[in-house]
Amino acid sequence: MHPASYRDTWAEISLDAIEHNARTFKKNLQRGCKLMAVVKADGYGHGAYETARAALRAGAEYLAVALLDEALELRAAGITEPLLVLGYTPPRSVEKAVRAGVTLTVFTTDVLEAVEAAAAVSSRTPARIHLKVDTGMTRIGVRTAEEARSIARQAIQTPGVALEGIFTHFATADSADDTFTREQFRRFMNIVDHISDDGIDIPLRHCCNSAATMQYPDMHLDMVRVGISLYGLLPSVASERDTHPLKPAMQFKTRLVQVKDVEVGTPVSYGGTFIAERPTRIGTIPAGYADGLSRSLSNRGDMLLHGRRVRIAGRVCMDQTMLDITDVENTEEGDPVTIFGKSGDAFLHVDEIAELMDTINYEVVCLIGKRVPRVYLYKGKPAASVNHLIGEIPAQDSPS
């Protein structure tokens, strides 16, 4: 959270939407299944601490991040709930994690041995670990039943270490074709069964990401990991909309800082790629590609002004962008502009921007930089505003 901001560009985050989304998933989980809220990458750009608190209020039992650095930031902010690092933690950093009560992902013996050493000298026991299995993502994790059994045996034989979980990650759960996902699930359960045959009981088995949580209730097991859809975005068009009606949590807003009328033939922005073909009104906003507004949207992306679409005019600059606002009457400096989100009765979805950028909605929200302050709304009102310099958020531009 920025303590102050001196320009009119901000990301508006609805904590009500995040709570709604978490409750929606909780309602649709199989009996006894826990919800892990994934708040890595600063809560997919929404703010890790604030979204973690909202998800926990809505019933999430576990949190997850990608890196130990992210976990330690949450611990320092006062988050005490169970917290898993999904990615690799180097052995040199393990003791810090154990002292902070952070659960680690393990898939190599050197990391497991570092956990064992840290547990031996830490008063914060047990040191909890989850075993990662690679069933087809070909990223991180053990690949064979024998590898998994070896690490599991070593873990349970060590005082102060708790093998709390085992998990895998689906590569194509957001596809309409379920063939590979079901094959990954079969491989995962085969390894889980081999470990169980050794008399080793692992309490938390989890494999479902957002897409799989929605599409494969038979795979929920003991816990599911919900990331992108916690923030109200679908992982793909194949994902369920009816059973999981979600609310997008983020809107990206700014204001016109200058409005000028230009003559026919006037070039706009770097390279003069936009040339006015009629008497044109140009509006400038204080946001650019350094804020996450991709340069690939130059001359083709839209924004909303007074509930109407306006096209980006010329190339997106690092800190500013120009808009062709000729067709919107009664515009003036200070008027609110919606980069994505709601304006009047109109709504510009993140998915549309992602399609223009030839990417996914995950990237669009994660790209919004740290210098863009986050303004949090809770119960429909500002929960934490940057400061009065942002000014009043116009009612017609607040989330519905």
Which positions are catalytic?
40, 270
* Three-state SS at 101: coil
Dist CA 390 CA 360 (whole Å):
30
124 is in an annotated binding site: no
**Identity (one letter) of the amino acid at 260?**
K
Q: Which parts of 124-208 are beta strand (E)?
A: 127-132, 161-167, 204-206
On the question of a cis peptide bond just before residue 373, with omega within 30 degrees of 0, the verdict is no
Which residues are bridge partners to 104 per DSSP?
85, 129
Measured CA to CA, the distance from residue 184 to residue 171 in angstroms comes to 9
CB within 8 Å of 192: residues ≥ 6 apart:
166, 202, 205
What's the CA gap between 217 and 55, in Å, rounded?
21
Give the burial string for 146-166 (b: 16+ CB within 10 Å, else e).
Answer: ebbbebbebbbebebbbbbbb
* Farthest CA pair distance, the chain: 80
Residue 98 Cα distances to 39, 115, 119, angstroms? 20, 7, 7
Residue among 177, 168, 204 at smallest CA distance from 62: 204
Q: How far apart are CA 180 and CA 31, in angstroms?
A: 26
The one-letter code for the residue type at 244 is H
- Which run of H or E residues covers position 354? helix 350-357
**318 is known to lie in a ligand binding site:** yes
Task: Using alpha carbons, select from 116, 94, 113, 114 the residue that is nearest to residue 103.
Answer: 94
Residues of the binding site for substrate: 139, 318
